[in-house]
């Protein structure tokens, strides 16, 4: 259903959510998995199709649904969209520093606050909430 040869070498947790008669294929990936590394953020990516077998179109033009902000590129990972459009992820590192010991001391190691998506065709948005401000939405 999805390949990313020459673009990304690590597509994780692929899953499909059916919403309003459309099939939304989501996955997460890390910034270092893109070619070239760092050319896109660690985040949740998604595509939509009228049928399970496609053809799929990227959400928001680029496929990016939720991306870590550039100031905290490793703040979260392992996103998964639940059938009610809540999004669960994992708090990773709350800071990235040249000092590896300092970075390790900021390891989150727990479930992040839930986010909620709204889906409308090829457009996804974070629903308005206090938690939504912690991640940058895809554009």
What's the rounded mean pLDDT across residues 51-67? 96
Residue 111 lies in a domain: yes
Angle, CA of 22, 23 and 27, to the nearest 5°: 140
Residue 6 lies in a domain: no
Residue 50 lies in a domain: yes
Higher pLDDT residue, 102 or 40?
40
Range in 24-38, 74-88, 103-117 with the lowest mean pLDDT: 103-117
Residue 127 lies in a domain: yes
Residue 130 lies in a domain: yes
What's the rounded mean pLDDT across residues 110-129? 91
* Structural domains of the chain, count: 1
Which tokens belong to 50? 């009228």
The CATH number given to whatever domain includes residue 131 is: 2.115.10.20
Higher pLDDT residue, 58 or 1?
58
Neighbours of 136 (CB within 10 A): 18
What's the rounded mean pLDDT across residues 49-63? 96
Residue 2 lies in a domain: no
- Residue 100 is part of which domain span? 12-137
Output b/e per residue, 72-100; b: 16+ Cβ within 10 A.
Answer: bbbbbbbbbbeeebebebebbbeeeeeee
Residue 100: the pLDDT is 66
Residue 55: the pLDDT is 95
* Nearest of 68, 32, 29, 21 to residue 46 by alpha carbon: 29
């Amino acid at each position: 259903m999805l390949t990313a040869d020459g673009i990304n070498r690590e597509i994780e947790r692929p899953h499909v959510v059916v919403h309003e008669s459309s099939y939304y294929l989501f996955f997460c990936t890390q910034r270092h998995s893109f070619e070239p590394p760092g050319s896109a953020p660690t985040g949740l990516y998604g595509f939509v199709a009228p049928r399970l077998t496609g053809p799929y179109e990227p959400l928001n033009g680029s496929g990016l649904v939720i991306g870590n902000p550039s100031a905290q590129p490793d703040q979260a990972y392992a996103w998964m969209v639940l059938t009610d459009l809540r999004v669960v992820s994992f708090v990773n590192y709350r800071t990235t520093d040249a000092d590896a010991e300092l970075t390790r001391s900021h390891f989150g190691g727990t479930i992040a606050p839930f986010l909620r998506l709204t889906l409308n065709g090829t457009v996804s948005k974070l629903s308005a909430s206090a938690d939504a401000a912690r991640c940058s939405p895809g554009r």
